[in-house]
Amino acid sequence: MSDFRRDFLAFALAQDVLRFGEFVTKAGRQSPYFFNAGLFNDGASLRRLGQFYAEASLAAGVAFDQLFGPAYKGITLAATTAVALAEKGHNLPFCYNRKEAKDHGEGGSIVGAPLRGRVLIVDDVISAGTSVRESVNLIEAHGAQVAGVLIALDRMERGGAELSAVQEVEARFGIPVVAIANLRDLLAFLHGQPELAAHQAAVEAYRARYGVG
């Protein structure tokens, strides 16, 4: 596991974004862990999160010209990632969509830079893939190309069939999905944290039951 992935999980745990216990997922599954990126909700944590997103995007080697943040969570994520990339010498444009098109002023459904070239979608997680589908349709409608999707955590568990939500997106749209960390990274992280050892068996059992890859 890369150092930035381990550091990200430690950071998420310290911010109470990553929690262990008993939780129910949207799919109705009993999960031994929970991840809520919405709790990165102050300036310092959002700045650090953007740095992790930027590092993951560069480490993946995906070529892109612009960032796109789907409303609403993706808006701040794309913005902070753009700032972090600029600090690393990669100054790229970003934009986001409105939920409803504006019919006055500048109008339209896109705020920020015009959609052009290879666009990287930035979001927190992929659940059903609905947000990705809507983003892909919007980007392609503007004549741009989707370079991939950048997310915080890949839970690596089956969706509606045998593939995970991430694998379904990759297969359906033919684009890579890059995660700062995934379930394998989480298990490796737990293995190296004696104080969290009690949760490792539960996460392993959950992966054995629902995991893919």
Residue 12, domain CATH: 3.40.50.2020
Least confident window among 64-68, 190-194, 204-208: 190-194
102 is catalytic: yes
Q: How many structural domains does the chain have? A: 1
Domain range for 53 is 3-210
**Mean pLDDT of the region 86-102:** 89
Interval 104-116: pLDDT, tens:
455 468 999 999 9
Interval 39-60: pLDDT, tens:
999 999 999 999 999 999 999 9
* Catalytic position from the list 104, 142, 191, 199: 104
pTM: 0.93
Q: What is the 3-state secondary structure (H, E, C) of the chain?
A: CCHHHHHHHHHHHHCCCEEEEEEECCCCCEEEEEECHHHCCCHHHHHHHHHHHHHHHHHHCCCCCEEEECCCHHHHHHHHHHHHHHHCCCCCCEEEEEEEEECCCCCEEEEECCCCCEEEEECCCCCCCHHHHHHHHHHHHCCCEEEEEEEEEECCEECCCCCEHHHHHHHHHCCCEEEEEEHHHHHHHHHCCHHHHHHHHHHHHHHHHHECC
73 is catalytic: no
Local confidence band at 127 (pLDDT 50, 70, 90 cut-offs): confident
**Mean pLDDT of the region 181-208:** 93
* Catalytic position from the list 88, 90, 102, 191: 102
pLDDT at position 1 is: 63
